[in-house]
Structure 1
Amino acid sequence: MDGVVSVGVDSSAESRAAAGWAAGEAVLRNGALRLVHVEEWPLPLAVAVPTVDRTDHRRWADDLLDGVGDAVRREHPGLAVERRRLSGRPAAALAAEASRAEVELLALGSRGLGTVSGVLMGSVGMAAVGATRTPVVLVREHGPTADGDVVVGIDLGGQQDAALDFAFAEAERRSCTVRAVHGWTLPVALKNEVARNVAEELRAELLPWRRARPSVTVVERPLMGAAATVLVDEAAGAELVVVGRRERRSPLAPHIGHVTHAVIHHCSSPVAVVAHP
């Protein structure tokens, strides 16, 4: 058995969708699934309703983890399913979980409720994405079904080896196509000449991965337009979208990047965010 696919679990439909996606990913990787619930105490509900105490909440969390575990085992008999109940700030605890040596990736519901009533899982997910080097996959409740492409955004001249490695490996596991997308903008008068150069650069950029994984079909999509807009449009119906994130921090918050930020918020497909130097 290989590594572990961890998934954050709460009571939201998006969280359950993430658990289902993560279970399928664990099967593809011949690994284990780890269900993780983060308890942040006190809950607002516990303050408003004194009869709700920490023991009650832990019992509820255990029931939640058991229920999600039973559901994924029914869908994937034989899958090894672990469970962890953690305490602390959700984003920090999930990032720490993702950073464990055996964890290959972390899956999160992209718009679900966090363990603090009224806090969007989106904000927790964004914080977790920026706090770990481990790939994080954000899953919506109603995303596309299987049989689409793996779409990867390419920044020519950028540090994107990690994102390409991830995209090609995922496509090989799924026996599907990699669609490599690069958006570019220049004055219309230079369009034809620049388009040829961009296409050649994109082909050269992908050559090492074509050679390393010859079984993977690759479609090159150098398109004129803003990178974020082009990538969101191309991602429609994708099985998985892969984007990079530079490992750097601003004084106020982790750096995500505007293209990655746009894809996370506007794509209905699962979005994998892969960190690079």
Structure 2
Amino acid sequence: MPRTVTVGLDGSRESRAAAEWAAREADLRDLPLKIVHVWEPVPEPMAQAPLLGAETRQHWTERLPREAAEGISLRHPRVEVISEHVSGHPADVLAEAAKNAELLVLGSRGLGGIGGFMVGSVSLSVVAHAERPVVLVRALEQAADEHERDPAGVPSAATPFRPVVLGLDIERPDPALIEFAFDAAVRRNTSLRVVHGWNPPPYYALGMPADPALYEGLERGRSEALAEVLRPWRQKFPDVAVVEESCHGSAGVHVVDAAREASLVVVGRRIRRNPFGAHIGHVTHAVVHHSTAPVVVVPHG
């Protein structure tokens, strides 16, 4: 069975923006788009209330994904669109849907004047438990934000994609994470900006202000280690222009800063079999809450 780009749709602005992003990604990957609408059953007494009658339930369970699929098919004629509605708890259904997907796309609410996401409990649970890549998309027109500006200063789909940003921990560099980022850059015909944040060991910290050479040595060592990690990937993807940034300080802050000029941000999450809690790591947690670009969280061992 061929994989799909799958998107969770609940009718909100956020999920509709996610569906549009997912359609463009499906086109880039030459894959079908699957729209999943999850209907969470309500307690029987509420289900019998006049305002929650059969017609209303039918609208949300049948019309919403069907109408969304029809609209996307018109706007993206090269993409095969499949829709389905499923009854169950949204986080569980979407995590299950991710198993057969190339990637799962969800919407996240923008924080008004503050750049970033408001990641709800459903999205956070799916990110923490899905074993396929999960993308979080803001409720904005992403097509313009993903591209460079034209001579008139307006970003559009006719201009090149902005760079892909990869947040990388060189102590535990996972091949699945790195390959996803390089592949995303290839599909967008753009560059890859690899950001690694580091802090000195505690016993170095006190000596660094008084000894600039100590700091410079640590910085040079980190830069060389980053280059060594990326060397085989540069050889595997010779057409991708790679910018390496080894930055002193919080990795989350540096990745979020780089996201302002990115078409996509790629971060990782270690797979944990514990069913309780949302374990995504502090750097990934910061990025998914504050990135202004779409963020893909790639699970790895």
State if a TM-score over 0.5 links the two structures: yes
Which is greater in Rg?
2
Please tell me whether the aligned partners of residues 2 and 30 of structure 1 are also in contact (alpha carbons under 8 angstroms). no
Structure 2 portions without partners, runs of 5+: 111-117, 148-160
Name the amino acid aligned to 2:183: A
1:201 to 2:229 alignment: no
Residue of structure 2 in register with 1:265 after alignment: 289
Residue of structure 1 in register with 2:162 after alignment: 148
Measured in 2, the distance between the counterparts of 1:90 and 1:139 equals 17
Q: CA deviation at 1:55?
A: 5.2
Once the two structures are overlaid, the 10-residue window that deviates more, 266-275 or 59-68, is 59-68
**Residues 162 and 21 from structure 1, CA distance in 2 versus in 1: closer, same or farther, beyond 3 angstroms?**
same
Kindly provide the CA deviation profile for residues 16-46 of structure 1, in whole angstroms up to 9, marking residues without a partner as x. Answer: 1100010001001111000000010117994
TM-score under structure 2 length normalisation:
0.83
Residue of structure 2 in register with 1:132 after alignment: 130
Residue of structure 1 in register with 2:106 after alignment: 108
Q: CA deviation at 1:79?
A: 1.3
Equivalent residue runs for 1:59-138 within 5 Å: 59-100=59-100, 103-111=101-109, 122-138=120-136
Residue of structure 2 in register with 1:115 after alignment: none
Measured in 1, the distance between the counterparts of 2:65 and 2:275 equals 36
Measured in 1, the distance between the counterparts of 2:181 and 2:75 equals 25
Q: CA RMSD, aligned part only?
A: 2.2
Q: CA deviation at 1:255?
A: 1.2
What is the SS of the residue equivalent to 1:261?
Answer: helix
**Residues 251 and 243 from structure 1, CA distance in 2 versus in 1: closer, same or farther, beyond 3 angstroms?**
same
Residue of structure 2 in register with 1:213 after alignment: 237
Please tell me whether the aligned partners of residues 159 and 276 of structure 1 are also in contact (alpha carbons under 8 angstroms). no
Residue of structure 1 in register with 2:270 after alignment: 246
Kindly provide the CA deviation profile for residues 101-156 of structure 1, in whole angstroms up to 9, marking residues without a partner as x. Answer: xx1000000239xxxxxxx8621111011111100000001252332111001101
Measured in 1, the distance between the counterparts of 2:105 and 2:176 equals 18
1:231 to 2:255 alignment: yes
Measured in 1, the distance between the counterparts of 2:10 and 2:296 equals 20
1:177 to 2:191 alignment: yes
Once the two structures are overlaid, the 10-residue window that deviates more, 48-57 or 58-67, is 48-57
Once the two structures are overlaid, the 10-residue window that deviates more, 64-73 or 77-86, is 64-73
